[in-house]
């Protein structure tokens, strides 16, 4: 789908940029597995790795040999090791990065998007709201995600409401699968709001609650904060 539309995935596994070489039993010493941002140079090869916490790292070695569009960045989940000369990348896996949109956006007009999820983990990290979701699926095909935003109070109180849009496309609930989502927040920092931080309220539909919306996640977002 075009950039800016909702994200549709097959939940048998999100697309890998490229799997690392070697045997499955290979031991990765001191390797971190985190959501990070990667940046490419003029040739499209990964030159920089930006963790959500800590310093920006030059990439000393990328065992995946991945390339993206030149001079662009991408949000990924990475297995990497911090070496003296920089980051050594073992694997890269794409994340869903839906840009929040208002409720009346054409992307949300066809379906309600109220299919449930279970939040396994959710946290803020360097201008992103990150989450790992558990879904109950049969085929795992055709699930669509988006973020419905209400920023009517952003200019007055510095508050943004977010609702997770999830359309399972009538997929039956049999097996557990994970979805990895990283929502960009930096666009809110460009607004004129009266507070130093921006309050992010995140809501979602969950299993066993019928049409009830769970609203028990609130975050204080400070643009550029790494811890």
End-to-end CA distance of the chain: 33
The predicted structure's pLDDT at residue 172: 86
Q: Taking the chain (227 residues) in consecutive chunks of 10 residues, what is each chunk's mean pLDDT?
A: 46 40 52 95 96 94 95 96 94 95 89 90 94 89 92 90 92 89 91 77 85 79 77
The predicted structure's pLDDT at residue 215: 66
The predicted structure's pLDDT at residue 4: 43
The predicted structure's pLDDT at residue 25: 53
Residue 45: what are its φ and ψ, rounded to 5°?
-80, 150
The predicted structure's pLDDT at residue 139: 80
The predicted structure's pLDDT at residue 15: 38
The predicted structure's pLDDT at residue 210: 64
* Count of C-beta atoms within a 10 Å radius of residue 171: 19
The predicted structure's pLDDT at residue 132: 96
Closest by alpha carbon to 150, among 102, 195, 213?
102
Cβ pair 215, 201 in contact under 8 A: yes
């Amino acid at each position: 789908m075009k950039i800016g539309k909702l994200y549709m995935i097959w939940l048998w596994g999100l697309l890998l940029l490229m799997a690392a070489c070697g045997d499955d039993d290979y031991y990765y010493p001191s390797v971190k597995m985190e959501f990070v941002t990667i940046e490419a140079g003029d040739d499209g090869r990964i030159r920089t790795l930006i963790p959500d916490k800590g310093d920006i790292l030059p990439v000393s070695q990328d065992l995946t040999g991945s390339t993206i569009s030149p001079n662009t960045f991408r949000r990924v989940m990475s297995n990497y090791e911090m070496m003296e000369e920089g980051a050594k990348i073992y694997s890269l896996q794409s994340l869903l990065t839906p840009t929040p949109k208002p409720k009346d956006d054409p992307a949300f007009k066809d379906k309600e998007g109220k299919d449930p999820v279970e939040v396994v983990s959710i946290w803020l990290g360097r201008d992103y709201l990150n989450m790992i979701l558990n879904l109950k699926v049969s085929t795992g095909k055709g699930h669509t995600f988006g973020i419905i935003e209400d920023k009517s109070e952003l200019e007055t109180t510095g508050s943004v409401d977010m609702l997770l849009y999830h359309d399972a496309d009538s997929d039956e609930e049999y097996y557990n699968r994970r979805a990895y989502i990283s929502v960009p927040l930096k666009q809110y920092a460009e607004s004129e709001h009266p507070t130093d931080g921006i309050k992010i309220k995140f809501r979602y539909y969950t299993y066993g609650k019928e049409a009830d919306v769970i609203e028990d996640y609130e975050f204080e977002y400070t643009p550029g904060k790494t811890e």
